[in-house]
Structure 1
């Protein structure tokens, strides 16, 4: 099977590790993969053996029209042989789009090539875009052979897709991560411990209240180190001033590209996620997989966040609520360790990257007609 993975700029930067894992897993099963990324995308997987194409993501409708022809030519020039039983006139079999910023391009490519189209619905905002797209041209895409299948990153989002778009085709393909080495969070608590505060900065109040909770514990826990997501500062400069007024600057570091630099983030003890944006991200899953203690805003749209099983869920937006959650694990670290172990077990049983790859392969097969599809000459059958 020939698969084109396309992501918009924001998603490609934020979830590059997941996209790389999926690419490797699909290729390991014998699929032929093409990665289509925005021009000048800063990251490329140097170990990749897949074909790489780029698209121009700036400009209006004229660009939408003019960029299709070279992309179609580039796909044809790859000359990938079609698997047995599949239309050989098509240059690609499946187009899988990540991030709603590339959905229009993915739809146009599917229309021109006759490929089956999958769209990953990673947020409630993306779901709203999907609904508007369907409402703008009811039945038109289907008549042109481009009726998307909507992929859901977890059960809660899948239920929401089915509720809001009951007639649309959808599949549950839970995102997954690799299991890190088991460790004990807060093991150096008498000497030092670290907190990573991550977010987008869209909810300034939530970020400020969480930061105030951290600041209020500063005198009591002088060994505390704080790492703040640069995305919050860029969007909300007042958060930096708040950190300054709280006297946190001598123990605070700002982290650029938090979502892309997972290897650093997952070495911390606590992940604090003050916003509840109904956006699915693999960073909390990576934190759980690496025995971090996750403290997060309540978010019913994300089924991986379960109070006292995978995370401490803060229902109130107040400083006191965040402070209480932090204190519960700092004063009783054994509670934090038990929570981290429970969350890691959840990842091991429910959210491994290998399970994500298997669910995507199954969805592709279903999209192609619920019949066995030749994936190539995979010898081991292993999925990474």
Structure 2
């Protein structure tokens, strides 16, 4: 009899692997991180700092749901250091209001996964979307904190921020990295941040929502990381970022603008600098050539759609096939972008760590450094 393998799609990674679990209105959200080496300093305070960045209820541009998102490490850490065994973490849900969703049990919300979940499973958890809820990303951020800690010891930094909200875009000349954590919309340009909040106020008055673009820059990534065919670095980053709910597109370097350019302009010319190191005179490729890192900054942008849950009247259907008009009420973000910034950072870090670990067997010299006495 032929064996049938069922994959639920809640596991990501190869050597550094995460498995997330839990629902928006279940008892909690959790993650198991497998493949983290022993000896990494880790405690709940380190992870909490990242969870606080995506925590709901911090300002009026985020959902009013009040969750402290306190993380608890259940395994894999002893006396403040990782043991090399699976690290299990949980964040308990404490402020569910499932009654807010009871009226949507029999119809499909526009822009949500209600219809597709019913078609796939024949059944769905309608309380906030269950597994399709953005609350699932809590687990990713907890795992991402571990990945970022590993990267920091290798001199690699991942920094994401809001590049644009609606038609409001940052001016790089006005940007300061420290502003990302103080801006209510995670913009490094505070002038653009103010204009963006004014746009959000207008959308909220209209019972509507807004989308935007998140930009992510990776510095310190060595050249030679990634595989040339099916495990390309950019392909795996694309899968990681597109697995985040509400992300509808991704581009690296010049992205779609490369299609409007010419080879002579789009190619990144190589040079040897005065220190004898290989450098590029431009970075249209976004730090990745042939699926492999080239040693320059990895730069990509992700498009985030407007929040689907809006109070504005929309047309939809019931489960029994009746055409109706609905207005979605409850505690919903008027924009997803700011809270998704740390999620993009987390999934980027997780992917980079996984591919760095995979690369350790790419050359015999790498293996001899570990095992040859």
**TM-score, reference length from structure 1:** 0.22
Q: TM-score, normalised by structure 2?
A: 0.23
Structure with the higher fraction of residues in helix conformation:
1
